[in-house]
Amino acid sequence: MQPCFIALAAERNKHKGTEMLHRRRPHRMGRNGGSLWRIAVALLALCFAAAACTSTGADADASAPTPDGEAETATTAAASGSRERPTADDYTDDMADDDSDEGSTGALGGAAAEEDIVAAVSGESEEMADEEMSDSGGGVRLESVGGSSQSGALSHPAEPEPEPYEPSQRRRLAEPDNFVDYGVNPFVDTADDPFSTFALDVDTASYTVARNFVEGGQLPPFEAVRVEEFVNYFDGGYPDEIDEFTISVDAAPSPFAEDGDLLLRVGVQAPHIVSDAIQPDSIILVLDSSGSMNEQIGTPDDRSRRIELVYDAVDLLLEGLEPETRVGVVAYANRARTVARPAAVGRDHDDLVRRIRRDVRPDGSTNVADGLVTGYRMAESEASRGRHVLVLLFSDGVANVGATQTDRILRQLGERDDIGLSTIGVGLGPFNDELMEQLANRADGSYHYIDNHDEAWRLLGGDITSFVSVAARDAKVQVIFNPDTVAAYRLIGFENRDVADRDFRNDAVDAGEVAIGQSATALYELMLVDPDSRSRRSNETLAKVTLRYERPASERITELSATIRPSDTHRSFDDADRHFRLAAVAAEFAEVLRESWFVDDPSMRRLRTEAEAVARDFRGDSDVAELARLIASAQRLQ
């Protein structure tokens, strides 16, 4: 009977955090409710026990589940796809500090602590939650490691397919706009999967698209809302170092989460002075001149044709470029044509702007593929001379002639490390957000949206270095949560930026690009094993955060890491940094608009109060004041 007892005890320990998760959040369960889930867990435990009892000739260690055990990860909503998890050995390696300085005990407490973590994850002891994992230093700890590419050639089973996410009240999308619902990330039981890995994203289009809807008198379709793009529309306020990225990690209770939960902020700041950054020597403009670009855009107080907004945006871009930057122009409707061959823009770009206004006139269908292929052939000619090239697409994305799907278009373009593709969306109804976002994400660029002249100025006016440059390629973040302190976690946003955990150090896997001076923020909601641990067990670690990226010019792989402990967290939301509170407000606004299951106050009463308080803290910042106004307007539209 001893094997049966071990199996039952291990299974009970493995689901301890899960049971707490569902006990605390019965209203956030899936459609089947908590009782059915508990029955399923009980049956699963019996199956494990029966298997342990009937097995013969097995090793003694085989009766305890491993971190890759067959039990289903606990969730309260569905993720957009499954992920694969590293083994316990990988977990142990990543938890350790990468440096070997004298006196170092490891990021989460050294070898003894790592053994405790592995035991806790694999469910071998019910007492592990009481073991302390001491960090060697105080506060957030940061380290930098330069290294070569490593490939995670491991074989792990994928997690079970979760139940599809489905908002309670869907706002049906009005044709012919095209957005994609990537779902909402679930809570994940830390004992089941302590790793969270994603590609950095600094796009901002979703926020301006939603703003356009709200200012037009309607709530945006939930498919149009991507939380990370709301958060990253605003600067994170992180410290800036010369020639090196920085990681900032802080946490505080959130008024938008349940009592005892923490909101964790992971911030990455690109330096403003970078030795290995790349700025394009040539820029190829690909301009949509189809008939839909003649449609009106903007609010009743600020109306203009889409093409007029493109003219003004191009004028701002050219004015901000270095005189030696070469610029070529391609326009497309039914087919593509060359408007201007690449040439140095010089200090007087007025002639090129006049030529664009004269020769790029809206008419005909939309052959995006032909426009991009022609633009890429022009870019390849520039790249063959040793120049770094950025292709910049201005369009409403409504491809209706030639190749119209992202995959087919990208296959026609091919892959070039020395050519990037960024997209700027213009107009709604019709507008293809999916195409514009995916083209940029998968072709080493960024995606933005301009809905008025002010937004064009914000994006392209003045110093445009942070728009056209590249400070990091294939930037990925991996957060390892400590199951002794964190019962469950949820990444808020980044649903379509997921990276398999085992591919974190696989540099053949595409990730995100970050420009000079840009900041990127990710937010997690954490359910603690012991909500009072912030005061009683201050030496234990909540999480270790690692950033991995390639320096573009030297192609050198760099890693940075930081850790955070319960004692480093703020006591209250009001005590947190104002940028932390701004990120929380922006994220909650997006969560409400996309009808997330994790919103406790869909009426936005508390959200509006907090937004007005943050706006007062950022007095004089027009972007933050605008966010507060948008929240008030959206509340009236409900």
Q: What would you measure as the largest C-alpha separation in the chain, in angstroms?
A: 88
What's the confidence (pLDDT) of residue 418? Answer: 80
611: tokens are 């937004």
Which segment of 18-32, 225-239, 412-426 scores lowest on mean pLDDT?
18-32
The pLDDT tens digits of the residues spanning 394-424 come to 998 777 766 667 788 888 887 777 889 999 9
Read off the pLDDT band of 463 (50, 70, 90).
confident
What's the confidence (pLDDT) of residue 415? Answer: 73
* Interval 423-441 mean pLDDT: 88
More reliable by pLDDT, 283 or 34: 283
The pLDDT tens digits of the residues spanning 284-322 come to 999 999 998 998 876 666 678 899 999 999 999 999 999
Architecture label for domain 191-275+470-637: Sandwich (2.60)
Hey, do 191-275+470-637 and 282-468 end up sharing a CATH topology, with the first three levels equal? no
What is each CA distance from 588 to 183, 257, 521, 580, 607, in whole angstroms? Answer: 16, 10, 14, 12, 7
Domain ranges within the chain, ordered by starting residue: 1-65, 191-275+470-637, 282-468
On whether the CB atoms of residues 352 and 310 are closer than 8 A, the answer is no
What's the confidence (pLDDT) of residue 534? Answer: 55
31: tokens are 């459609």
| pLDDT above 60 (res 343) | yes
C-alpha–C-alpha distance, residues 422 and 428, integer Å: 19
93: tokens are 């390696």
What's the confidence (pLDDT) of residue 533? Answer: 57
* Interval 589-611 mean pLDDT: 96
C-alpha–C-alpha distance, residues 355 and 347, integer Å: 16
Read off the pLDDT band of 530 (50, 70, 90).
confident
In percent, how much of the chain has pLDDT > 90? 56
| pLDDT above 80 (res 584) | yes
| pLDDT above 80 (res 195) | yes
* Interval 264-277 mean pLDDT: 94
C-alpha–C-alpha distance, residues 26 and 635, integer Å: 26
What's the confidence (pLDDT) of residue 299? Answer: 65
DSSP string covering 504-552, please? TT-TTS--EEE-TT-EEEEEEEEEESSTTHHHH-TTS-SEEEEEEEE-T
What's the confidence (pLDDT) of residue 29? Answer: 36
More reliable by pLDDT, 38 or 461: 461
Predicted TM-score (pTM) of the model is: 0.77
Per-range mean pLDDT, top range of 85-99, 392-406, 571-585: 571-585
Task: Tell me the backbone φ, ψ of residue 471, rounded to 5 degrees.
Answer: -100, -25
What is each CA distance from 380 to 59, 121, 373, 415, 416, in whole angstroms? Answer: 59, 50, 10, 11, 9
What's the confidence (pLDDT) of residue 404? Answer: 65
What's the confidence (pLDDT) of residue 396? Answer: 86
What's the confidence (pLDDT) of residue 411? Answer: 82
Topology of the domain covering 282-468 = Rossmann fold (3.40.50)
C-alpha–C-alpha distance, residues 297 and 288, integer Å: 15
Type of residue at 43: L
Find the DSSP H helices in 398-515. Answer: 406-413, 433-442, 453-460, 465-468
Which segment of 412-416, 453-457, 524-528 scores lowest on mean pLDDT?
412-416
- The region that residue 171 occupies, defined by phi over 0 for left and psi between -120 and 50 for alpha, beta otherwise, is beta
Q: Give, for 309, the enclosing helix (H) or strand (E).
A: helix 306-320
What's the confidence (pLDDT) of residue 409? Answer: 85
* Interval 259-267 mean pLDDT: 96
Residue 603: exposed, middle, or buried by beta-carbon count in 10 A (0-12, 13-18, 19+)?
A: exposed
Q: Name the CA dihedral angle for 178, 182, 184, 189, rounded to a multiple of 10 degrees.
A: 180
Which segment of 261-270, 414-423, 483-492 scores lowest on mean pLDDT?
414-423
* Interval 228-235 mean pLDDT: 97
